[in-house]
């Protein structure tokens, strides 16, 4: 929600180059999804968002499909609080069955959680 609530104007083209690939590849036009704008999120939420997006690097580059699925599924509309890519829409975008996409998403999340656990960010229960 935080990423999609940020203003989409005012960034230089260099800043847009750092957007996650799922946003560069499939630009999401918020006004088309809902006529009003969400308020700009506070700095704390932006910092947490940056940290969470950085976790995508724990999915190896050669598993870019998993990285793309996890990133696309993470996009939530800031006004409706619904996923921008529901499972079936994500399945169509990936050219696969939505149940397969759900399994791949779980695999991607497992890779992230394992990497965070190995680095001491997540402690065993």
Q: Mean pLDDT throughout 69-85? A: 92
Instruction: Convert the pLDDT of each residue in 2-52 to its tens digit.
Output: 888 877 665 554 554 555 655 555 545 555 555 467 788 888 999 999 999
Q: Mean pLDDT throughout 69-96? A: 93
As a whole number of angstroms, the distance between CA 18 and CA 37 comes to 23
Rg value, the chain, Cα: 15
Across 12-16, 78-82, 92-96, least confident range: 12-16
What pTM did the predictor assign? 0.74
Q: Which residues pair with 122 in a beta bridge?
A: none
pLDDT given at position 124: 63
As a whole number of angstroms, the distance between CA 6 and CA 16 comes to 12
């Amino acid at each position: 929600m935080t990423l999609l609530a940020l203003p989409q104007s005012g960034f230089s083209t260099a800043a847009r180059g750092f957007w996650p690939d799922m946003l560069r590849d499939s630009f999401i036009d918020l006004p088309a999804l809902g006529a009003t704008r969400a308020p700009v999120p506070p700095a704390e939420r932006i910092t947490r968002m940056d940290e969470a997006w950085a976790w995508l690097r724990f999915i190896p580059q050669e598993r870019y499909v998993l990285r793309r699925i996890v990133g696309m599924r993470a996009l939530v509309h800031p006004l409706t609080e619904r996923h921008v890519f529901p499972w079936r829409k994500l399945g169509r975008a990936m050219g696969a069955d939505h149940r397969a996409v759900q399994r791949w998403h779980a695999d991607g999340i497992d890779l992230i959680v394992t990497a965070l656990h190995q680095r001491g960010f997540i402690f065993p229960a």
